[in-house]
Amino acid sequence: MLSWTHILVVVAVVVLLFGRGKVSDLMGDVAKGIKSFKKGLADDDVPAAKPEPRIIEGSATQEADARAKDKTANG
């Protein structure tokens, strides 16, 4: 089990290795990442607009629809 002295020693070693500036920059980056993640989750709750189907002239579907209409019109 970790005691307070173990935690303090680990923190002291990290600060000595990386310096105070890098540790605070790293914590700031972690906080920005968490905020961005939460914002992304909140944006997912809003339903996206359903795109309208596009009709492309000369497509196989239009040609098939035209043939079906011709068949029904001709008998």
**b/e map of 20-55 (b: 16 or more CB within 10 Å)?**
eeeeeeeeeeeeeeeeeeeeeeeeeeeeeeeeeeee
Q: 47 lies in a domain? A: no
Q: Is residue 51 part of a domain?
A: no
Domain range spanning residue 35? 15-41
Largest CA distance in the chain: 92
pLDDT in the model for residue 23: 78
* pLDDT value, residue 57: 67
pLDDT at 31: 92
Total of domains in the chain: 1
Residue 28 or 67, more confident: 28
Say if 46 falls within a structural domain: no
Confidence of residue 1 (pLDDT cuts 50, 70, 90): confident
9-52 pLDDT per residue, tens: 998 888 888 887 887 888 889 999 999 999 888 876 666 677 77
- Determine, yes or no, domain membership for 8: no
pTM: 0.39
Residue 28 domain-assigned (yes or no): yes
